[in-house]
Amino acid sequence: EKLTMIQIKEFLSKIPNLIHFELDSEGYMDLIDGQQWELIASNLIIFDFRIHLLDPLWNFSEENILQSFLSLFWLEHKRRFVAYD
């Protein structure tokens, strides 16, 4: 079974004082939503993720994916830049 955003939220809700989180996983499109990650990562000091998409036939735009990570939170607060490879 591959990882979903719901599973990540459930897992992290059990460790609210977590400050360092790294993720390297296979998953689906719901894992590459910058707005969802913003809610999760707001209290993390160290946050790094690599997500290997499993639904390559999904009709998505690289630009739309990256747009969700171009908020003030990602660019100024976290100073993180997300890339698609």
Q: Where do the structural domains in the chain lie, given as residue ranges? A: 5-77
Using CA atoms, how far apart are residues 26 and 51, in angstroms rounded to an integer? 6
pLDDT at 59: 64
pLDDT at 78: 82
Query: What tens digit of pLDDT does each residue of 11-69 get?
Result: 999 999 999 999 998 888 888 888 999 998 888 988 998 888 776 656 667 777 788 88
Which tokens in the block code for residue 80?
Answer: 């993180």
Tell me if 9 sits within 8 A of 28, measured CB to CB.
Answer: no
